[in-house]
Amino acid sequence: MSHRFTKPFWSVFCSIIDNFGDIGVSWRLSQQLATEHGIAVTLWVDDWQAALRFLDPLLSNEPNPTSQALQLQGVCVRRWPQDGQSCIEAAQAAVIVEMFGCELPEITLRSMAAQQPHPCWVNLEYLSAEDWVAEFHGLPSPQTIQGADQTVTLQKQFFLPGFGKNTGGLLRERTLIARHQTWQNEQNPLRHQLVNAYGLNDEPKLWLSLFCYPGPVLKNLIGALKQDTQPTVCIIPAGGLANQLASQLGRPQEPTPGDCLTLGNIQFLVHPFVSQPDYDRLLSICDINIVRGEDSFVRAQWAGKPMLWHIYPQDDGVHLDKLQAFHSLYAGTAKSGSEAAALACWQELNYRWNCGDGIENLWHDLRPHLPALHSHARNWQQKLAELPDLTSSLVRATGFAT
């Protein structure tokens, strides 16, 4: 695709299916386009209330719930185009990005077809470590658009995130690795702030962050954690997951941010919903990050700390193939025998946990491997950082790179 536009204005379309994964990735991309590439971006979201909840930690003032748009950190966030005028405005962008294959409004499509030149049109797909991703990345996708008086074929391009050089890469801000370095240099004081804030008695020996999907995996994880004999702290976000935890611990009330739930040697700190940079900092100072889906999964890898990944479960079980594809890639880069042994243990635990099995023994076996897993996580972070970041690759692919 070659850039033939004079106004570097992009439209990013995000359909919020559930939770904050879609908007999380869309926001990161939009913000990076704006701040690092100087591109004016409009992020169109279909669930306005969910978008406001997601952006809330970044907002200085309470937004008007009836507003149609807000300007934040260089990005214009707008309600999904409903009327003809906003559909046409959305189509006047030089680049149209549909996040995760979301369906664009019909009027927008027709307006794109009527424009000369046609806008660059990109479908940014879900992340997967499977081999086929590299074969798909960059492929054209001719789309026939039925206009009022003629049919026009627009070329959409598939853009697939991934872990290899023949993929679109991963979202990574320019300063991210340096920020993690800084946070990890200040790890003890940062942890101490949390100890004081929550009024913990003992300095924990092991720090965990926990962000998995609700369901049996949480019960199985708690079953494993409660066996720990040393003081452990587990930071869990307020909301559905913390509610399930409280229920399983026999607490009658739903926990609120600031609450601390204790089970044996573990203290669960119920953390407020935080902004993406604050979540990055949290990942950076924990010993093990338990993450889910796509966005927190990628961020945990940038933190360079051991992690467990709760992949988004799919009814047909295809998620387990995707999980194993990542395991193969991640564990395939072991640099020593001790790392290989640690990763074998980690794979077994992560797989069994995602299958809904109990992991008490595997968790016990994993603990001595934490130093080797940490070393591997740092190496993996460095290896990924050698690849171009997703946003820069996307900008290049659309012809906007200077």
Contact set with other proteins (CB under 8 A):
17, 100-101, 123, 125-128, 130, 132, 135-136, 139-144, 153, 158, 294, 312, 314-316, 318, 321-322
- Integer angstrom CA distances of residue 115 from 6, 89, 94, 119: 14, 11, 10, 7
Beta carbon nearer to other proteins, 47 or 125:
125
Beta carbon nearer to other proteins, 231 or 313:
313
Q: Which of 46, 130, 294, 389 is catalytic?
A: 294
Closest distance of CB 170 from other proteins, Å: 15
- Integer angstrom CA distances of residue 189 from 39, 129, 194: 37, 36, 9
- The answer to whether 43 touches 75, Cβ cutoff 8 Å, is yes
Beta carbon nearer to other proteins, 142 or 337:
142
Instruction: Pull the structure tokens for residue 127.
Output: 């992340």
Query: Radius of gyration over alpha carbons of the chain, in Å?
Result: 22
Closest distance of CB 158 from other proteins, Å: 4
Query: Residues 174, 180, 182, 186: what is their CA dihedral angle, to the nearest 10 degrees?
Result: 160
Q: What is the DSSP string of 282-346?
A: HHHH-SEEEEETTHHHHHHHHHTS-EEEEPPP-TTSHHHHHHHHHHHHHHTT--SHHHHHHHHHH
Closest distance of CB 132 from other proteins, Å: 5
Active site residue 106: no
Beta carbon nearer to other proteins, 130 or 228:
130
Q: How far apart are CA 351 and CA 335, in angstroms?
A: 22
Strands (E) in 5-148, as ranges, are 9-14, 40-45, 69-72, 75-79, 95-99, 120-124, 140-146
CB atoms under 10 Å from CB of 319, counted, come to 15
CB-count exposure of residue 16 (10 Å: 0-12, 13-18, 19+)? buried
Q: How far apart are CA 303 and CA 351, in angstroms?
A: 22
Q: How far apart are CA 191 and CA 285, in angstroms?
A: 7
Active site residue 386: no
Closest distance of CB 217 from other proteins, Å: 17
Q: Which of 22, 89, 125, 228 is catalytic?
A: 22
Beta carbon nearer to other proteins, 135 or 203:
135
Beta carbon nearer to other proteins, 113 or 200:
113
- DSSP H or E segment with residue 33: helix 21-37
Helix, strand and coil percent figures for the chain, each rounded to 5: 45, 20, 35
Closest distance of CB 143 from other proteins, Å: 7
Report DSSP state, residue 267.
Answer: E
Closest distance of CB 74 from other proteins, Å: 28
Beta carbon nearer to other proteins, 125 or 339:
125
Choose among 157, 100, 96: nearest CA to 128.
100
Closest distance of CB 221 from other proteins, Å: 23
Q: Which residues are catalytic, by number? A: 22, 294
